[in-house]
Structure 1
Amino acid sequence: MPGREFFQTQPVSQALAGFRPRRRTGTETVRREDALGRVPAEPIRSGAELPGFARSTVDGYAVRAADTYGAGDGLPAYLDLVGSLRMGTAADVEIRPGAAVQIPTGAAVPDSADAVVMVEHTQVTMPGVIEVTKSVAVGDGVVRPDEDVALGKELVPAGRPLRAQDLGLLAAAGVTRLVVCAKPRVAIISTGDELVPPETAELSPGEVRDATASALVGLVEQAGGVPVSYGIVPDDVDLLTKTLTAAVAECDLVVVSAGSSVGARDETTAAVEALGAPGVYCHGLAIKPGKPTLLAECSDVPVIGLPGNPLSALVVFRMVGLPVLRLVGGITSPAPEPSVVATMARPIASAAGRLDVVQVSLRDGLATPLFGHSALLSLLTSADGYVVIPEPATGLDAGTPVTVTMYR
């Protein structure tokens, strides 16, 4: 029957495991100050110990631990106060047996001391003498020279986007520049005779403003990519092939929205096949929404054909497109998505063998499913997150604990 849709669907997990495009971005050197969220191309190791000197962790007195053994409230130890230390200076005071030196938190501990007793466990009984009311063991109140980072230790791994705390550690180690993976350039192509730019003030009957492209730009930027807009292409296979050819030559990942349904308007598959080997990997995923999804590789560049409905397109791009984008961009250890555990407020039906992605609102620990046609973009804006019903399940009962992946 003409126009009838037919898919040889593939499970999402199988597609993600099997679709491994060879494309990887190159590398570039950036300043540490500009490296937040960037992906190290190689592990970065420390060229020195940190902190590099024995350091006090408390305000108190640097001592020889043996001089405090047995000290308590009823039988304090008395030590001679032979000086004080300041932050940022060398600990050049010699602590002989039976002596102590006043020291602030973070100051260097003299080599002749092996512990620091907290000021709360001391008092000055007379000028030049302190009373210690608690014994300390060797190493108490002291950070070793290599306790934070040993010489040659890995500071940050390759393949994990840098976080704020990672930049702090790199700064402490004196790293000023680092080699990172270049950000993937992601071509965004919209197709359809009915689409017009979002700036269109007045719509003619049948026209629709292109909403998907703007949302895809945001998702790509959030994932560390660089979106490259190729605009709207009408339903013309030759024109689409020309646009795809340019995108494959210029970008690291190509995303085409609409035109992937197997029917009268299926232009994307024909255009992708014209780009050469290896071509289409699969056409159809066992996912709802998003069944008419196309995955292909052309000249080592991955091409993703998304459904035309905005909700379906964005759900699929989150589930399938983002993992591919991260792979191309060198991310081997992606940051986990924020999530919370909630309870289903009502039952949800599902078909076994299909991954269902259900939009939910979250209130007082209850996840309430939001239902509607996949053309309704407002479902996504109303949702706080989504729940994934795995392929083997036939649904979820009300009261079932679920993990809600939150939208940022």
Structure 2
Amino acid sequence: MKVGPRPAGREFFTARTVAEALAGFRPARRTAVGGVPLADALHRVPAGAVPATGPLPGFARSTVDGYAVRAADTYGASESLPSYLDLLGAVRMGEAPTVAVRPGGAVGMPTGGVLPEGADAVVMVENTAETMPGTIEVTRPVAPGSGIVRADEDVAAGAALVKGGRPLRAPDLGLLAAAGVTTVPVHARPRVVILSTGDEVVPPDTATLLPGQVRDATAPALAGLVRDAGGEPVIAGIVSDEPGALRARLQEVLPGADLVVVSAGSSVGARDETAGAVAALGDVWCHGLAIKPGKPTLLAECSGVPVVGLPGNPLSALVVFRLVGVPLVWRLAGCAAPPPEPSTRARLARDLPSAAGRLDVVQVALRDGEAEPIFGPSALLSVLTRADGYLVVPEPATGLDAGTEVEVTLYR
């Protein structure tokens, strides 16, 4: 949807719901693919399924300490009437068996040892006794397959070790290592360029503030959210409110970006340059989300690069970027769906009013199973730093009563 320059004095809103934004604003851009060592692959997104070249574990093995047997030789065994089997030898860890199991015989097994030929089960050592040299008694029967894993029970040859489009977790790395995979083809980390705007905004290392000046608190916080989502943040400085300055800066950073985030420049007002600058360079998908806080959010695409324009207040900017921007970073990295955030259930400590037709995001502190809402102006970052997580009041609701069980998304 191409949106032209805004008429003077008129609000520039094409509002959408958050659900519409998550479902509808889906840029096709994906980062490049390259191989990374297994040690650096945690939380990276594979470009496709990685197949197993052979079965895993690759041989039938014991899952317990005990004796490899033919299950039929143990049928009917009990403590009062045990089965007696000849001890034929033992399997050593890391070596191929040198003895086979014949009818009426047993072979000693360590956990993880290779199942010898002729055996179809392993009886646990706790259910046996060696009453005389060369003979064991079995006091409990076993079924075929008990105490063992098949050669392909973990992964069959040709099956996917890991799927494409899902961030790699620690167990995935272990499975890849077990299959001998030491390099994984993954999407590059999205390069997220963060631009701050406003004549009143100064760098965080400014020692003394002049009247009306504020240090740029939003950009470092946004960079943290980008890193959490597997992206590579690039804090690209502060753009003045001078007409045309933002458009010129966007033209400079777009060629090297996978995503551009404009902080503090999308509030509706006389100095709002974001919408006009972005509209001059690309397509504005929406300017306005039905959410509190964070309504004046802009979503657009310029030269194939998605652009997110955030509200000026730090709390609003961080809340909306977590809901809309973070999934976008994961999507650019080839992730089919963002990893779920940790959550918990709690009882609402007090009545919570809301307005129908918008999504309300409320910060909460958790105490003894209760969620206590934390309120404050959207310019105050301390509202977020004091919160353990947040809850969402859906668009149709006009509020929640005290005692209502709510789901709280936790901050990590």
The alpha carbon displacement at 1:334 in A equals 2.2
Give the structure 2 partner of residue 403 of structure 1.
Answer: 407
**3-state DSSP class of the match of 2:270?**
coil
Q: Which one of 354, 357, 360 corresponds to residue 361 of structure 2? A: 357
- Judging changes above 3 Å, is the alpha-carbon distance between structure 1 residues 253 and 158 closer, same or farther for their aligned structure 2 residues? same
Identity in percent: 67
Deviations 1:318-356 (A, max 9, x none): 011111111111111321101001110001111111000
TM-score by length of 2: 0.96
Deviations 1:117-153 (A, max 9, x none): 1111111111111111111111111111111111111
Give the structure 2 partner of residue 319 of structure 1.
Answer: 323
8 Å CA contact 1:22–1:301 kept in 2: the answer is no
Give the structure 2 partner of residue 108 of structure 1.
Answer: 114
Segment of structure 1 superposing worse, 179-188 or 90-99: 90-99
8 Å CA contact 2:351–2:401 kept in 1: the answer is yes
Give the structure 2 partner of residue 257 of structure 1.
Answer: 263
Give the structure 1 partner of residue 39 of structure 2.
Answer: 33
**3-state DSSP class of the match of 2:244?**
helix
TM-score by length of 1: 0.97
**Distance in structure 1 (CA, Å) of the matches to 2:243 and 2:162:** 47
Which residue identity does 2:247 align to in structure 1?
A: T
User: Is 1:135 the counterpart of 2:141 in the alignment?
Assistant: yes
8 Å CA contact 1:5–1:261 kept in 2: the answer is no
User: Is 1:188 the counterpart of 2:184 in the alignment?
Assistant: no
Q: Which one of 272, 296, 299 corresponds to residue 300 of structure 2? A: 296
Give the structure 2 partner of residue 46 of structure 1.
Answer: 52
**Distance in structure 1 (CA, Å) of the matches to 2:88 and 2:14:** 83
**3-state DSSP class of the match of 1:66?**
helix
The alpha carbon displacement at 1:8 in A equals 3.7
Q: Which one of 280, 283, 295 corresponds to residue 284 of structure 2? A: 280
The alpha carbon displacement at 1:51 in A equals 0.8
The alpha carbon displacement at 1:249 in A equals 1.1
**Distance in structure 2 (CA, Å) of the matches to 1:367 and 1:353:** 23
**Distance in structure 2 (CA, Å) of the matches to 1:70 and 1:237:** 90
Segment of structure 1 superposing worse, 298-307 or 6-15: 6-15
Where do residues 2-401 of structure 1 align in structure 2 (5 Å cutoff)?
Answer: 5=11, 7-275=13-281, 277=282, 279-401=283-405
Q: Could you say what the CA RMSD is over the residues aligned between the two structures, in angstroms? A: 1.3
Segment of structure 1 superposing worse, 334-343 or 236-245: 236-245
**3-state DSSP class of the match of 1:237?**
coil
- Judging changes above 3 Å, is the alpha-carbon distance between structure 1 residues 4 and 363 closer, same or farther for their aligned structure 2 residues? farther
- Judging changes above 3 Å, is the alpha-carbon distance between structure 1 residues 27 and 237 closer, same or farther for their aligned structure 2 residues? farther
8 Å CA contact 2:330–2:337 kept in 1: the answer is no
The alpha carbon displacement at 1:9 in A equals 2.0
**3-state DSSP class of the match of 1:274?**
helix
Deviations 1:187-242 (A, max 9, x none): 10000000010001111100000000010110001100001121011102322111
**3-state DSSP class of the match of 2:317?**
helix
Gaps of 5+ in 1: none
Which residue identity does 2:47 align to in structure 1?
A: A
**Distance in structure 2 (CA, Å) of the matches to 1:150 and 1:126:** 42
8 Å CA contact 1:118–1:141 kept in 2: the answer is yes
The alpha carbon displacement at 1:400 in A equals 0.6
8 Å CA contact 2:331–2:337 kept in 1: the answer is no
**Distance in structure 2 (CA, Å) of the matches to 1:258 and 1:273:** 17
**Distance in structure 2 (CA, Å) of the matches to 1:325 and 1:394:** 32
The alpha carbon displacement at 1:22 in A equals 2.0
Gaps of 5+ in 2: 1-6
Which residue identity does 2:205 align to in structure 1?
A: E
Which residue identity does 2:57 align to in structure 1?
A: P
Deviations 1:235-284 (A, max 9, x none): 02322111111121110000001121221011111111221x3x111111
The alpha carbon displacement at 1:7 in A equals 3.2
**Distance in structure 1 (CA, Å) of the matches to 2:122 and 2:331:** 49
Which residue identity does 1:206 align to in structure 2?
A: G
8 Å CA contact 1:272–1:296 kept in 2: the answer is yes
